[in-house]
């Protein structure tokens, strides 16, 4: 029986890289993994370096109660406005000040396509 050693949230960009590595090693993915990779190829536009850079900047803001799982979701969704960011964070029991929401969106604006 397999045992879960640790759980940690990863971005869609990181998942895409993992699936590509598995595909390279195993030569073929199962049906579900293939479908997931197809989806990721359509919707993931940021490379790993940019994702890591954004995550680091968001962590460096030191926003109270903002955890890794929240940061991963924010990076995956890349909201363009404070209102969009509020919608994303509504799914969690977390409250972030408008000032901090603005700081997050300002960082994301640097990486959004013009």
Q: What is the pLDDT of residues 30-64, one digit of tens each?
A: 899 999 999 999 988 888 899 999 999 999 999 99
How many CA atoms within 13 Å lie on the side-chain side of 97?
Answer: 7
Shared domain for 61 and 98, answered yes or no, is yes
Q: 3 in a domain, yes or no?
A: no
Side-chain-side CA neighbours of residue 60 (13 Å): 7
Integer Cα distance of 1 and 100 in angstroms: 44
Residues 53 and 90 in one domain: yes
> Quick one: pLDDT at residue 114?
67
Domain count, the chain: 2
Rounded average pLDDT over 92-105: 91
Percent above pLDDT 90 for the chain: 60
96 and 65 together in one domain: yes
> Rounded to whole angstroms, how far apart are CA atoms 58 and 82?
15
d(CA 95, CA 6): 27
Q: Quick one: which of 76, 21, 70, 18 has its CA closest to 45?
A: 76
pTM, two decimals, is: 0.83
**Enclosing domain of residue 94:** 48-109
Q: Give the separation between CA 74 and CA 70, rounded to whole angstroms.
A: 6
Do the Cβ atoms of 79 and 88 come closer than 8 Å?
yes
- Chain segment 24-34, per-residue pLDDT in tens: 998 888 899 99
pLDDT(80) > 90: yes
Non-local (6+) Cβ contacts of 110 within 8 A are none
């Amino acid at each position: 029986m397999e045992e879960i050693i640790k759980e940690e949230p990863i971005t869609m960009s990181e998942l895409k890289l993992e699936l590509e590595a598995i595909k390279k090693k195993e030569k073929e993915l199962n049906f579900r993994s293939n479908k997931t990779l197809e989806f990721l190829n359509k919707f993931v536009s940021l490379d790993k370096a940019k994702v890591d850079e954004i995550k680091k900047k968001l962590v460096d803001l030191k926003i109270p109660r903002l955890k890794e799982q929240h940061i991963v979701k924010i990076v995956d969704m890349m909201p363009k406005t404070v209102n969009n960011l509020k919608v994303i964070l509504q799914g969690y029991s977390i409250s972030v000040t408008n000032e901090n929401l603005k700081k997050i969106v300002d960082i994301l604006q640097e990486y959004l396509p013009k």
